[in-house]
Amino acid sequence: MTDRELFEEAVRAAGYSYSKYSKFRVGAALLTVDGKVYTGCNIENASYSLTVCAERVAMFKAVADGATKFKAIAIAGSSTEDFSIPCPPCGACLQVLSEFCSESLLVILSKGWFRLSDFLPMRFSGDNIK
């Protein structure tokens, strides 16, 4: 799967967003090392702290299905039909990604790709607990 195809999966996932408060739809497409794609969308709640981001929905679906090795994640977010403005992951999502992914995880946004380490260079991991 190409980077562009994975990003388009994220855009499609954003179509399922439940974002009645912010009107900002986010979709994520998480690619496993064996080529399976898990998608997620943001799901808002009137009690804002209970809102869940698209990246975490995709990750939790994957882990619940037994997947734990990942190659890339694409993220698309917009309040319009234009998904050309990059929508980087929030801090909570970066921390969840870092639990299951290496620093070299490819993070695909509308304007290109990055590595997880570009967003979270000094991540907190299980190694810090040991």
99 tagged catalytic: no
Q: Are 56 and 84 in contact (CB under 8 A)?
A: no
Q: Which of 5, 8, 9, 55 is catalytic?
A: 55
Would you call 72 helix, strand, or coil by DSSP?
strand
The structure tokens listed for 100 are 């299951």
Residue 30 pairs in a beta bridge with 38, 73
Ordered DSSP codes for 43-70: B--SSGGG-B-HHHHHHHHHHHTT---E
Catalytic residues: 55
